[in-house]
A and B are shown apart, each in its own frame.
Chain A
Amino acid sequence: MDQGRPDASAVAVADGRIVSVGSVESIEPWLRRHPHSIDDRYSDKILMPGFIDPHTHLRLSGTYMGLEYVGPIESAAPDGLRKGLPTRDAVLNQLRALAAERSDPEIPITAWGYDPASQSGHLDRDMLDQISDTVPIWVIAYAPHIIYANSPMLKLIGVDDDSVGHGIGRYPDGRLNGWFVETEATARATRPVADVVYGPGSGRAAIDRMGAVAKAAGVTTTADLVWGMADGFEPEWEDHARAISDGTLPLRMFMIPFEPKLVREFGDDMLEFLAAKRRQGDERLNTHGIKYVNDGSYPSMTLVMNEPGYLDEDTAHTGEIPWENMVERMLPFWKAGVQIHSHANGDRTVDMTLDTLEALQRIHPRFDHRFTIEHYCISSPSQAKRLAALGGQASVNIYFVHFRAQLHSDHGFGPDRSEATARLGSLERARVPFALHSDFNLVVTPLSPLLAAWCAVNRIGADGETVLAPGERISVDSALRAITIDAAYILNRDDRLGSIEVGKHADFTVLDDDPYQVHPEDLKDIEVHDTVLAGESTN
């Protein structure tokens, strides 16, 4: 991704940094001067700069991924999509398989998504006891009004046939039937599970679990865009620091604080807290920037759009987040030189964000501020030009083009906005720097930079054939830059990350095939063989 020197066959690494790039012959002046060994384990592979996903939520999503999915329709999972289970028997089979592989009978099987309406009837205690009468089983329905439990789970919850309580279900003979209906009972039945999901060590477990998912997709650097929200600033920092020092998190992490939480917790000391954390941080774990959330999400249709708005205007759940005082809220960070990451999914929100950026520029002009609009789902070409004029950049969720856009053509956004979701071509023509991200996993999309690049290059809809807004496609080179060097630029670390260039960190993603050589439609199918972090294989 060093455009001046695009190809190389050898890279020399010392102390985790790149010393020289070229061929074994060309790097010889370095080799002659230093003791070295030649490692040819990747000689039949392709070395890319380590992939960067500049917007994820590993800590927050990792917690919930401990839940097994037993719903009737497809849902996202760390390793891609999970198929829906059409019937109750299919669900019971799935639970049986999970029970069979459960080594520690103390830890409950926790599942979500059961739909008694479409999966042919309720579960109950006796049915679940058939699957296991030793491993506790806890299933929360798709509409979480009801939880089903087997006998060991009832014991864990602390209820028996003599228990009294609204929503605790019984068989006609008075025995508990394993149902917990409505909020009071579901809250009661959830506590022991929450203790497992959120218990001591759960934060670490979540980070480790999601870190492994990101690594498998070839990611070597990512940023948590809501630092502070899950457990608080210090505990989350500590969990990441320990995961790194224990060698269980093979990533570089940037912690980007969630503004409302930071302001509430630190008040006037917020800038000093961030400065102290930056001093404490290092090249593996550091903080950077500040995060604002200014509208809802694309799949839940809570983003804010300009005219003509939603297909069914009165149905859109928008306007929930006040935009008053945006300039005042951002100004202290802007003046202090802190990079601003501002979430905007709808084009109305993009307008508001651009207005805010313009106001900030008038009050206190800045160059190279790298103000980033996060997500940038629905936008216009003129907004791209204005973003360029104001010196901003965009971190774009491109996955929706494939996974959601066609569905929203007749549902929410209408055909025009849906087709033109994530206008990367417009950004490129306006010369706005941009990166691709997954937002993993606050929205139902997978985490895979190569899949993101495939979406950006091909823009193939969910039907598997239609090309959506062909003029918004970008080249393979641009897409690969958007998951490497340009993503590093978004995080203001392109001086140290994002390309295989002398002086940079020796972070590589090792692929089985060359993404510049395969057919563009096969980009997403390239296997990630390994990643290298600071010169060391993470396998």
Chain B
Amino acid sequence: MSQPIKARFDELDSAWSRVISTLNASRHHDQEKSNVQTDLAVTLLTGFLGSGKTTILRHALERPQGLKIAAVVNDVGEIEVDAYLVAAETPSRISLANGCVCCALADDLSNQLETLARTGDYDVVIIEATGVADPISVAQAIHGTNGCHLDGIVAVADSRSLEEQLGNHHTGSLLHRQLQAAHLVVLSKIDLVNEDIRQTAHDLVAEAAPGSRIVPVERGQIDVNVLCGAGDKGVSITNSEKFSNFDVVSTVINPAGPWDPIHLGNALEQSDHQLLRAKGWFDDQHGNRYHLEVVGRRWSIEPSSDGPFQALVLIGLDQIDVDAAATMLAGITKS
């Protein structure tokens, strides 16, 4: 009883609470009720206070490009500001009741998401998580919610203060966790920094979270189709020129496949493709249809017998990235 306790004691509690939230989130999940094709696609927007999450959310709500977007704002901490800024843009801004115990928050979030999913009024949900939220816990709550699936975790990093925040003893570890959990990292406020600082911020993200797909953004202007996964609702594959906005480019692969789904998964896992997003359907050599979603370094492949066609749209920051990814996909074998 009198032995000194070794260092890292504070991490033990946070590790424990994340294990608890992982378990807790999984308990109500009913595979039958969750179906990737029809589920609400949930984007988790993380980042520190002041990193620009709310600006990005506002921008998306102002230019939804035909998507019906629900915003969920985690009120813990900065309740007034966020409520005020986004209130005007969406009829369905939902606030989460506070609670310092992770499972209370997760329960609340799950309830709110299930309610949203049941209404059937929305294509996508964007959750703006509080600056100090651990994305793993929130992501697990989304995975555990019936009628929803996690589309992607988007971390917003302020290019002006990233270096200082990462170097800080405490914020550093949470920021690392946020960057490492993210599938896309948005480097915000790049219009406010010079090229050197922008490059430093880019390098810091790449170092903290190797393999991150990084999107530089000015004044929150990010294409909603990069931010959100809309399943088959948002992006019209036959009309891809709408991506001319906000410096993203796209290309369509038609027909997609036939590919062996495991080979495709391995290729996506191992490739350092720079796609921000890809979505669509492909067939394997037996004619089975699959749905593919790529969000940065995350991908999902699900059987989808009623997929409407056999084509993929690839979205990236520039044409070279998209062409390279198309070449990589063309090299995948069908069996």
Chain A residues within 8 Å of B, Cβ to Cβ: 60, 63-64, 67, 71, 73-75, 80-81, 84, 112-113, 140, 142-145, 162, 164-166, 170, 174, 182-184, 186-187, 190-191, 193-195, 197-198, 226, 229-230, 258, 260-261, 264, 293, 295-297, 299-302, 312, 314-317, 319-322, 402-404, 407, 411-412, 442-444, 451, 460, 462-465, 524
Sampled A-B contacts (11; CB under 8 Å): A73-B5, A74-B5, A142-B15, A144-B19, A187-B26, A190-B140, A193-B26, A229-B103, A260-B98, A301-B10, A316-B170
B11: chain A residues at CB < 8 Å are 142
Cβ of B103 and Cβ of A187 under 8 Å apart? no
Name the CB-closest residue of B to A161.
B262
Chain B residues within 8 Å of A, Cβ to Cβ: 1-6, 8-20, 22-27, 29, 31, 75-77, 79, 97-101, 103-104, 107, 130, 132, 136, 139-140, 143-144, 150, 153, 168-171, 174, 180-181, 261-262, 264-266, 269, 290, 298-301
Residue of A71, A197, A312 touching B23 (CB-CB under 8 A): A197
**A320–B96 Cα gap in the complex (Å)?**
12
Residue of A194, A229, A261, A444 touching B27 (CB-CB under 8 A): A194
* Known A112-B19, A165-B300, A320-B132; 18 more pairs at CB < 8 Å: A74-B5, A80-B1, A144-B18, A164-B264, A170-B266, A186-B22, A191-B26, A194-B23, A197-B27, A198-B23, A229-B104, A295-B100, A299-B9, A320-B76, A404-B9, A444-B13, A451-B1, A463-B2
Name the CB-closest residue of B to A67.
B19
Most buried by B among A184, A264, A314: A184
Cβ of A322 and Cβ of B12 under 8 Å apart? no
Residue of B22, B100, B107 touching A296 (CB-CB under 8 A): B100
Residue of A74, A164, A194, A320 touching B100 (CB-CB under 8 A): A320
Known A164-B265, A320-B77, A320-B98; judge A187-B8 contact (CB<8 A).
no
A75: chain B residues at CB < 8 Å are 12, 16
Cβ of A407 and Cβ of B5 under 8 Å apart? yes
CB distance from A313 to the nearest CB of B (A): 10
Name the CB-closest residue of B to A302.
B100
Cβ of B29 and Cβ of A191 under 8 Å apart? yes
B19: chain A residues at CB < 8 Å are 64, 67, 112, 140, 144
Name the CB-closest residue of B to A190.
B26
Cβ of A183 and Cβ of B140 under 8 Å apart? yes
Name the CB-closest residue of A to B268.
A166
**A320–B100 Cα gap in the complex (Å)?**
7
A230: chain B residues at CB < 8 Å are 103
**A512–B223 Cα gap in the complex (Å)?**
72
Residue of A187, A193, A226, A321 touching B98 (CB-CB under 8 A): A321
A195: chain B residues at CB < 8 Å are 27
**A463–B2 Cα gap in the complex (Å)?**
6
B9: chain A residues at CB < 8 Å are 73, 299, 404, 407, 444
Known A112-B19, A183-B181; judge A293-B99 contact (CB<8 A).
yes
Cβ of B5 and Cβ of A403 under 8 Å apart? yes
**A18–B243 Cα gap in the complex (Å)?**
81
Cβ of A229 and Cβ of B101 under 8 Å apart? yes
Cβ of A74 and Cβ of B27 under 8 Å apart? no
Cβ of A320 and Cβ of B130 under 8 Å apart? yes
Cβ of A183 and Cβ of B150 under 8 Å apart? yes
B13: chain A residues at CB < 8 Å are 297, 299-300, 443-444
CB distance from A170 to the nearest CB of B (A): 8
A142: chain B residues at CB < 8 Å are 11, 15
Known A73-B12, A320-B77; judge A140-B22 contact (CB<8 A).
yes
**A106–B19 Cα gap in the complex (Å)?**
22
Cβ of A174 and Cβ of B262 under 8 Å apart? yes
Name the CB-closest residue of B to A195.
B27
**A81–B104 Cα gap in the complex (Å)?**
27
Cβ of B300 and Cβ of A193 under 8 Å apart? no
CB distance from B78 to the nearest CB of A (A): 9
Known A84-B6, A183-B140, A184-B150; judge A444-B170 contact (CB<8 A).
no
Name the CB-closest residue of A to B132.
A317
**A195–B27 Cα gap in the complex (Å)?**
6
Name the CB-closest residue of B to A174.
B262
B5: chain A residues at CB < 8 Å are 73-74, 403, 407, 462
Most buried by A among B9, B76, B170, B181: B9
A462: chain B residues at CB < 8 Å are 2-5
Residue of B1, B143, B265, B290 touching A183 (CB-CB under 8 A): B143
Known A299-B9, A300-B10, A300-B13; judge A193-B23 contact (CB<8 A).
yes
Name the CB-closest residue of A to B9.
A407
A165: chain B residues at CB < 8 Å are 265, 300-301
**A487–B167 Cα gap in the complex (Å)?**
46
Cβ of B2 and Cβ of A464 under 8 Å apart? yes
Name the CB-closest residue of B to A311.
B169
In order of increasing CB-CB distance, the 5 nearest A-B pairs are A464-B2, A315-B170, A187-B143, A194-B26, A198-B27
Cβ of A293 and Cβ of B171 under 8 Å apart? no
CB distance from B185 to the nearest CB of A (A): 15
A191: chain B residues at CB < 8 Å are 26, 29, 31
Residue of A260, A302, A314, A403 touching B104 (CB-CB under 8 A): A260
A260: chain B residues at CB < 8 Å are 97-99, 104
Known A315-B170, A321-B98; judge A73-B76 contact (CB<8 A).
no
Cβ of B75 and Cβ of A166 under 8 Å apart? no
Cβ of B3 and Cβ of A464 under 8 Å apart? yes
B17: chain A residues at CB < 8 Å are 300
Name the CB-closest residue of B to A202.
B27
Cβ of A444 and Cβ of B140 under 8 Å apart? no
**A226–B100 Cα gap in the complex (Å)?**
12
**A145–B266 Cα gap in the complex (Å)?**
19
Most buried by B among A187, A293, A403, A411: A187
**A1–B171 Cα gap in the complex (Å)?**
49
Known A64-B20, A320-B130; judge A293-B169 contact (CB<8 A).
no
**A422–B18 Cα gap in the complex (Å)?**
28
B12: chain A residues at CB < 8 Å are 71, 73, 75, 444
A60: chain B residues at CB < 8 Å are 103
A194: chain B residues at CB < 8 Å are 23-24, 26-27, 29
Known A229-B101, A295-B100; judge A183-B139 contact (CB<8 A).
yes
